[in-house]
Structure 1
Amino acid sequence: MKEHFAPRHLQLDAGESLFFHTKAGSALISTSGTLLVTGTPRWLGEQVFRASTALEPGQSHTVVQSGWITVTAQHGGAACVLDTAWAKAPGRTGNVLLRYFSGMTRGVRAWLGRVEAI
């Protein structure tokens, strides 16, 4: 049986926090407001450490380790969480984008090769 994951949309008021479980490889995308993402607890030496990342609108963060993360809205905001199944299977749109950008890379390399030859 295949698991199908739907994106989760989070809406937070200023100062509100949400504590939830997510898998490694999931993407958290800030759609509005400033968000503070605090990762899962890890050991650093003999102390527990939790890395934090601030996200402005339009920025994304990839979860490194499965576990419980905290999302805090500093000025109110919204986010979308895409689970790992979406990252592993980009679908038709993702494949089109991959082909487009790989074609751009080849074009830029060819152009740079001509510029260096001059």
Structure 2
Amino acid sequence: MKKTIKALAIVLALGATLQAIKAYTSETPQLSASVERQKVVELMELRQEIEAKGEMFVPQESALSAKFPEIKNLEDLNEVFIMHTLRYIKAVGADKTLIRIIQQPSVSRFIREEPGI
């Protein structure tokens, strides 16, 4: 009886593990470097368009804005740009390098640098 319960427990544990792995892989989208690179380029073009038009920029009139409806202002653009850049870095396999570089003291000072008085 004990052996049967142990065997059943092992089978259930394996099943739960496989189910967890399957759920994780279905939730994690496959990143495409070429798709993310194209989005980063489009976001750079959108930034140029916004900077060129300034206050005259109307998101509904821009073809690039139609591809990124979540962007309503420059702060949204910055956030979307950073997310797609990070996705691109992950897709090309440079995420560990990015973390290593960000942890360097010279980069930390650059990121936290504020203008002097």
Q: Which has the higher contact order (CA 8 A, sep 6+)?
A: 1
Higher CA-based Rg: 2
Structure having the higher strand fraction is 1
TM-score by length of 1: 0.29
Structure having the higher helix fraction is 2
TM-score by length of 2: 0.29
